Amino acid sequence: MNKMKKKLVLFASVTIALASCQTTPKEDYSWIKKGLDVASAQLQLSAEEVSGTGMLPRSIRTGYDMDFLCRQLERDSSTFKDSLRAQPTADQLGKRRLCGVHDWTSGFFPGSLWYAYELTGNDTLKTQAIQYTNLLNPVRYYKGTHDLGFMINCSYGNAERLAPNDTIAAVMRETADNLCGRFNDSISAIRSWDFGTWNFPVIIDNMMNLDLLFNVAKATGDNKYKDIAIKHAMTTMNNHFRPDYTCWHVVSYNNDGTVERKQTHQGKN
């Protein structure tokens, strides 16, 4: 009798399980594949069209709402680069805007190629990712920006992760050294900009460049990179955020580490 009950219970369980499988709608993930296919095609087309120019895709040209931009910069208009005021000509609107390897966005295109290759396994994307990553080799010697993490971690950092070779580590370490060269011990922060009327400006965006330092610290076992990244992050945590957890765009410091001023140079408030 007990054996019969066990069989009945087992039969009922299997029947319920099968019924639930049949009634549960199957999730449709085809939109993900479509999105990847479209993105991959766009990236490959851009890579082919820009190949040989020594440039990288940056954005699509659009017009600016100049009244809004000028209102945002009323407090410190002297730091507003006049080049941003130039409206695209009619024949430029909607067209691709290119940039050189020293532009702060230069790492984004090779980084996107690496991510697309990772998700699709498409070897054409890998070849193009290598091509445009190698284009950024001169950045390893560049000391004029804090955006080195954007530029090198997005490109060479992803290359090291997805197609490692024995030349990448040196590029990343040299770049990290240059980023560390912008660190001030008295202020405990990495300087962002070398223009404007600020004494020592640090922008919130700089936090996204710290990944390069953490990755190089992990690769080399040298904690000086990690220590600088953490000190910068702590200084940002202490001074950039308002009580409601919104943040200032720029905090500038005096040489003794006290705050010179807080403001927004780009953004709404």
Residues annotated as catalytic are 147, 205
| Residue indicated by tokens 């009922």 | 12
Phi, psi for residue 77 in degrees, rounded to 5: -65, -15
* Selection from 249, 198, 192, 201 nearest residue 78 by Cα: 198
Query: What does the alpha-carbon distance between residue 44 and residue 228 come to, in Å, rounded to a whole number?
Result: 38
Segment (H or E) for 244: none
Q: Using an 8 Å Cβ cutoff, are 257 and 187 in contact?
A: yes
Please tell me whether residue 267 adopts helix, strand or coil conformation.
Answer: coil
Q: Using an 8 Å Cβ cutoff, are 99 and 53 in contact?
A: no
* Selection from 130, 82, 90 nearest residue 109 by Cα: 130
Query: What does the alpha-carbon distance between residue 53 and residue 49 come to, in Å, rounded to a whole number?
Result: 9
Query: What does the alpha-carbon distance between residue 219 and residue 75 come to, in Å, rounded to a whole number?
Result: 43
Query: What does the alpha-carbon distance between residue 198 and residue 238 come to, in Å, rounded to a whole number?
Result: 19
Segment (H or E) for 29: none
